[in-house]
A and B are shown apart, each in its own frame.
Chain A
Amino acid sequence: MEALALSRAAAIARGGRVLKPAPFDYYRPSSISEAVGLLDELREEAAILAGGMTLGPMLNLRMVRPRAVIDISRIPKLNAIVATSNIVVTGAGVVQCDALESDVVMRNIPLLSMALPWVGHFQTRNRGTLGGSVAHADPSAEIPLCLVVTGGSVVLQSKRRERRVRAQEFFLGALTTERRPDEMIVALEWPRAPADAGHAFEEIAQRHGDFAIAAAACQLRIDRSERLTALSLGLGGVESRPIAVDVKNFLGRPMRGAVSALADHVAASVNPMEDHSASADFRIALAKTLVERVLEKALVDAKSRWDRVP
C-alpha cells in the first residue's frame, strides 16, 4: 500500500487526474472454457479481474495498463467450496467473507478460518477472493501463507490442459508466481486437517487490516506426552514469498523445549526483507516472537481437541 501511496504522490505532482485506469477492453466470460479461450488469444495483454481488491487499485493508479480485462466474477463454477474425502476445493472466485462463514472451511481448514479475519477489512473481504490473493502473491498475504503451511496446491487451467502446482513451488517471489500467461487459477486445493491437529495464526501490522510486517502460521500434532508428531510452520512478510520452515529435526521432541529452539532455528535460517516498515533485524525479532506465539497457541488448540477426538 505504501508503494501505491508513493505513486499517488508522484501522480499528483505530475498534475493529477491520473487516478483513473488507462482504457481497456472489457470481457466477461460466463464459463471457464470461454475465459481460458480468451487468455489463449490475449496472453500477456490481458489481466484477470475477480474481486478487484488488488487489480482495481493497480489499474486506477496506472501501475498496470492491460489492453484487456477479463472479468471472471460471473463464472458460477468458480464460487464453489467442495469437500472430498481428503481435500477441500475452493473455487478461485470464492469471496473471502463467504470462506470466513463457511462451515466446511471451519471444520476442514481451521487455519484458513483463523487467518481470514486478518485479511484486509470487512468491506474488502466482502468482495476480495481467495484466488485473487493467491494470484497477486503479495509477500505478506495471509491466504498464500495458509496454502503453503497446509500443504495445499493451486489448480491452473489453460486452453490445453489443467495442472496442479504445490503452493510451496507456486510462489516464486514478490508478485511473481508459476502461473503462465495463458493460464488462470481455477481453484485452490487444501488437504483436510486431521481432527487432532492444533492450529494458530498470528501477525503484526501497523494497524489491523494493513499489510503484515510479519506473520506466522502453524499446524501441529502431538501425542499424549506432548511430543511433536507433525509440524508445519510458515512465515509471511519476512522473505519475498511465504516460506515453510524446515522443521524435520524437531519432530519427536517434547513441545516444551521445542518452542524456543524452533524460534532460534527460525531466527538463524530466515533471510528477511528490509523496507520502510522494518529492518532485517526487526523482522527476525518479530519472526521469533510470532513463532513462539503460534506454537504455544497451536499446542493449546491441539490439547483442547483431545476431549473431542475419539
Chain B
Amino acid sequence: MKVLHLAAGQRHPVALTLNGQRRSAQAEPRMLLCDFLRHELQAYGVHVGCEHGVCGACTVMVDGRAVRSCTQYAVQADGTEIVSVEGLAAPGTLNELQRAFVKHHALQCGFCTPGILCSATHFLQKNPSPDEAQVRDMLSGHICRCTGYAAIVAAILDAASNLREKGS
C-alpha cells in the first residue's frame, strides 16, 4: 500500500455517499467536512456554529454515528456514508422524531435543530427506551439558546415511545 498524500493548497477529489446518493466534489486538505457539505454539496441543513466541536450544530451521522462535522476534514470523509438532516425523511415529509419536535415546540430559531435531530436519531437507534436523564446526557453535546431544552427532552421521549409502539 502506498501512503496517500494530498498536497496543501490544492484541491483534491472527495467522493462520499450523502443521504443515499453518491456525490463528489473537490476539497483542500484543510477544508472542514461541514463546509464541504454546505458549500460543495449544498447540504445547507448542516449548520456551522462554533467550528471547534463544542456547540453541536454541525452534527451529522458519518457511517451511522452522530459526530461533529467541524472537527474533521472533508478529505477524511472520502468513501464514508453521511446522513444529514436532509436525509432523515423523504423530501416534503417529516419522520416520527421531527413530528414530535413540531408537536412539542422543541425549536424556536431552529439553528441547533438539525444537529440535535441527527444526534437523537443515532441515540434512539442505540437506546430505543431512554429515560429522561439519558436524553439529557445525550443533549449535553448540543447548545440551544432558545428552548431551555425541556421541550426537546419531551419531544425525544415522545418520539421514542411512538417509535417503540410502531416497532412492536
Interchain CB contact (< 8 A) of B140 among A31, A38, A207: A207
Determine whether A289 belongs to the interface, using a CB cutoff of 8 Å to chain B: no
A234 to B46, CA, bound (A): 41
Residues from chain B with a CB closer than 8 A to the CB of A117 are 137
Q: Report A-chain residues with C-beta under 8 Å of the C-beta of B159.
A: none
Q: B1 touching A26 by the CB < 8 A rule? A: no
Q: A23-B29, A123-B66 are in contact. Are A56 and B5 (CB under 8 A)?
A: no
Determine if A271 is an interface residue (Cβ-Cβ < 8 Å): no
Q: How far is the CB of B25 from chain A (nearest CB, A)?
A: 16
**Which residue in chain B gives the minimum CB-CB distance to A5?**
B54
Whether a CB of chain A sits under 8 angstroms from the CB of B73 is yes
In this complex, how many residues of chain B approach chain A with their Cβ under 8 Å: the count is: 37
Which residues 1-41 in A have Cβ within 8 Å of B in the complex? 1, 4, 8, 19-31, 34, 37-38
Which listed residue (B51, B72, B119) contacts A123, Cβ 8 A? B119
Which listed residue (A30, A38, A56) contacts B53, Cβ 8 A?
A56
B9 & A23 in contact (Cβ 8 Å cutoff) = yes
A residues less than 8 Å from B141 (CB atoms): 120-124, 209
Q: Are A8 and B52 in contact (CB under 8 A)?
A: yes
| A191 neighbours in B (Cβ, 8 Å) | none
Known pairs A25-B5, A60-B71, A207-B140; A20 contacts B30 (CB<8 A): yes
Least distance between A180 CB and chain B CB atoms (Å): 21
Q: Contacts A22-B30, A23-B9, A26-B75 known; A127 to B65 CB distance under 8 Å?
A: yes
A52-B72, A123-B66 given; A60·B51 CB < 8 A: yes
Contact (A56, B56) CB under 8 Å given A24-B30, A27-B4: no
The yes or no answer to A69 lying at the interface (CB within 8 A) is: yes
Count CB-based A-B contacts (< 8 Å).
120
Q: Are A20 and B32 in contact (CB under 8 A)?
A: yes
List the A residue with the shortest CB-CB distance to B138. Answer: A122
A101, closest chain B residue (CB): B126
Q: A21–B72 Cα gap in the complex (Å)?
A: 11
Compute how far the CA of A262 lies from the CA of B8 in the bound complex, rounded to whole angstroms.
54
Q: A26-B75, A34-B3, A57-B71 are in contact. Are A122 and B137 (CB under 8 A)?
A: yes
Are A23 and B8 within 8 A (Cβ)?
yes
- Within 8 Å by CB of B3, from A1, A29, A123, lies A29
Chain A residue at minimal CB-CB distance from B123: A122
Q: Which residues of A contact B76 (CB under 8 A)?
A: 28, 49, 52, 71, 73
**A4-B52, A8-B52, A127-B67 are known contacts. Are A25 and B8 too (CB-CB below 8 A)?**
yes
- Contact of B59 with A by CB under 8 A: yes
Measured between beta carbons, the chain B residues less than 8 angstroms from A53 are 53, 71
**A61 CA to B70 CA in the complex, in Å?**
12
Are A1 and B54 in touch, CB under 8 angstroms? yes
User: Among A25, A29, A69, A126, which residue has its beta carbon within 8 angstroms of that of B7?
Assistant: A25
Mask, A71-98, CB within 8 Å of B = 1, is 1010000000000000000000000010
> Given A28-B4, A73-B76, are A123 and B67 neighbors across the interface (CB < 8 Å)?
yes
Q: Which of A49, A60, A207 contacts B52 (CB 8 A)?
A: A60
**How distant is the Cα of A288 from the Cα of B90 in the complex, in angstroms?**
55
A117 CA to B50 CA in the complex, in Å? 23
User: B140–A208 contact, CB under 8 A?
Assistant: yes
Q: How far is the CA of A22 from the CA of B51 in the complex (A)?
A: 14
Cα A50 to Cα B122 with chains together (Å): 22
B1 engages A30 (CB within 8 Å): yes
Q: Which residue of B lies closest to A70 (CB)?
A: B3
- Tell me the complex Cα distance, A1–B71, Å: 14
Most B CB atoms within 10 A — which of A34, A73, A122? A122
Given A26-B5, A57-B71: 14 more A-B contacts, CB < 8 Å? A23-B29, A23-B30, A28-B76, A38-B3, A53-B71, A56-B52, A56-B68, A57-B52, A57-B54, A60-B52, A60-B70, A73-B76, A121-B56, A124-B67
Residues of A within 8 A of B (CB): 1, 4, 8, 19-31, 34, 37-38, 49, 52-53, 56-57, 59-61, 67, 69, 71, 73, 97, 117, 120-124, 126-127, 207-209
**29 interchain pairs, CB-CB under 8 A:** A4-B52, A4-B54, A8-B52, A20-B32, A23-B9, A23-B28, A23-B29, A24-B8, A25-B5, A25-B29, A26-B8, A28-B76, A30-B1, A30-B4, A49-B76, A53-B71, A56-B53, A56-B70, A57-B53, A60-B70, A69-B29, A97-B65, A122-B119, A123-B56, A123-B119, A124-B141, A126-B65, A126-B66, A208-B140
